[in-house]
A and B are shown apart, each in its own frame.
Chain A
Amino acid sequence: AQSVAQPEDQVNVAEGNPLTVKCTYSVSGNPYLFWYVQYPNRGLQFLLKYITGDNLVKGSYGFEAEFNKSQTSFHLKKPSALVSDSALYFCAVRSRNSGNTPLVFGKGTRLSVIA
């Protein structure tokens, strides 16, 4: 069975500092990996995805994530956090068996960027 773990319920970081939101996964074979963000009173918004190729994936709003196969991790990073990055972040995985299979999500990490 597929699963995603986001070990931190809450991450606090000062504005301008680098941020990391952790994600590890368990899936048979090679996965497709995604990060989504949910701003207050909004739906989930796609940030970035890893399909194949370069392990470092760049996405929206200056975010990037690094796929680490040996550690089965896909941590989300940003070099310099903004207050506007404060939101709920979800990591998700999908099986490679089909491109249209459902996403399996982690429970989310709330990021708070303090001015």
Chain B
Amino acid sequence: EAGVTQFPSHSVIEKGQTVTLRCDPISGHDNLYWYRRVMGKEIKFLLHFVKESKQDESGMPNNRFLAERTGGTYSTLKVQPAELEDSGVYFCASSQVLGQVHEQYFGPGTRLTVT
């Protein structure tokens, strides 16, 4: 079974540019989460999809961040325009929906550097 995949693995952009990160969850996982880790800090929650619906987007920093999950499969996270403080590693995770408490399966992350 394929794990959670993320693309790209690294992205270096200039302040003011736009970047789109992609996450492909494990097949059949309805829950999809985005997290971010700024250097040396905690991994912080950004938002949570259940299928194509945003369940919780309380962690989104501001309106420069836009997440979508059309069709309830893969998700994209767009940052427009990027600022220096957006640099960090963006993780995507997925989990099953119902039943027991399921652990979240994480992708390898996208390292974003804004210069």
Contact = CB atoms under 8 A, between A and B. Distances in A.
B44 A105 contact: yes
B103 A102 contact: no
Contact of B33 (A36, A41, A102, A108): A102
Contact of A46 (B44, B59, B98, B105): B105
Given A43-B109, A49-B101, A102-B59, A107 B48 contact: no
B108 interface: yes
Contacts, number: 67
B106 A100 contact: no
Interface stretch (B35-43, B61-69, B71-79, B80-88): B35-43
A99 interface: yes
Nearest to B6: A43
Interface string B31-56: 10101000011111100101000011
A36 B42 CA distance: 13
B106 A45 contact: yes
- Of A43, A45, A49, the most chain B CB neighbours within 10 A belong to A43
B42 A105 contact: yes
B107 to A, nearest CB: 5
User: 6 closest A-B pairs (Cβ-Cβ)?
Assistant: A44-B106, A43-B108, A102-B45, A105-B43, A43-B106, A99-B101
Interface of A: 4, 32, 34, 36, 41-46, 49, 51, 90, 92, 94, 99-108
